[in-house]
Structure 1
């Protein structure tokens, strides 16, 4: 435990100079809170279907126009112990006013199972999921022919009970680069990152590359539908890649209140067969 704590402080110490808000500070500090509900179902190559529910509560802080920090604290339910299914559920895109950038999380590869015994596999589990800390900085703002560039960093803290297979029981950290560009009412954005997974006692995990890419259209002032693909390389030894297609829509009820929903269809074996989610956010 002492070694893990030192590791956390080491990561934060390295990241602090890059995330300093002293370079550009807004007149007012902005905040956002969000609450989501997501469902996914699939066998993930194990031959055992697992239904999962993911309820993330998110708090975000924006000290400047470029800098953002967020904390995600989820509640997780899954119908079996065959996979760490709660890790599949993260909403693609951040609720609130931050740039879209929330793929981080351990995702199990196709055909790989946890160390659950026969009795544990057939038992449903629920409880607190893994906590995620994230920081992003808009390094370069959008120009006529150049997209906006936003590096981001995240740390996963293993607050989920690994004995219930709600998490891997290890710290993960990752970094990514997000790009976004508007063309009139059309827009495109994507993210490409790398996750370093901590050693797990319940899964033979490995480091992996992850990505999402998509685009959409702004319909009036309130509605923004979009289509995107989301995936990663194999995240476990002997596992397969992940890939899914998502139809997503954001609707702004007011200046402060927004809705964000999606429908998902898995393409690769390691992805959920299907999923859906809805989140509400309030910024102030």
Structure 2
């Protein structure tokens, strides 16, 4: 669920909640390769007067444990467009996780290559993950 907390009056969002339901398949090949695939249906919070449509979202990829601290992920991710007549997003994403603790807390650096007009051409990001154990 995504809570619609962005101001619709300021053009920052719809101000409506989105709900997403899906299924994911995760597996492991040996002890270091972890393929995954996810498919979901998103019910889009559609304010009066807008013509947003509900969409399917998906991703497919695999994570590779090089060492217990260094994990790489390659993923294709996409979705239908919420607006009729526009391209939906589709991206190739490469990520590196560095675990600072044995429980999995650490940092992530990722790069993103957009494949459609519905995605940015390129992206880069940095994240932090904390695992409660």
TM-score normalized with structure 2 length? 0.89
1:23-102 equivalences under 5 Å are none
Q: Whose relative contact order is higher, 1 or 2, with alpha carbons under 8 Å and at least 6 apart?
A: 1
SS of the residue 2:28 aligns to: strand
On the 8 A contact 2:92/2:112 being kept in 1, the answer is yes
Corresponding residue of 2:86: 239
> After TM superposition, which residue ranges in structure 1, 4 or more long, deviate above 4 angstroms?
none
TM-score normalized with structure 1 length? 0.43
On the 8 A contact 2:5/2:16 being kept in 1, the answer is no
Unaligned runs of 5+ in 2: none
SS of the residue 1:156 aligns to: coil
Find 1:180's aligned residue among 16, 19, 26.
Answer: 26
Corresponding residue of 1:211: 58
* Greater Cα radius of gyration, structure 1 or 2: 1
Unaligned runs of 5+ in 1: 1-154
User: 1:188 deviation in Å?
Assistant: 0.4
Whole-Å Cα distance in 2 between the matches of residues 205 and 224 of structure 1?
37
Find 2:110's aligned residue among 245, 262, 283.
Answer: 262
**Which whole-Å deviations, capped at 9, do the CAs of 1:68-101 have from their partners, x for residues lacking one?**
xxxxxxxxxxxxxxxxxxxxxxxxxxxxxxxxxx
Q: 1:202 to 1:231 in 2, by over 3 A?
A: farther
Q: How large is the RMSD of aligned CA atoms in angstroms?
A: 1.6
SS of the residue 1:255 aligns to: coil
**Structure with a larger share of its residues in strand:** 2
Q: 1:279 to 1:269 in 2, by over 3 A?
A: same
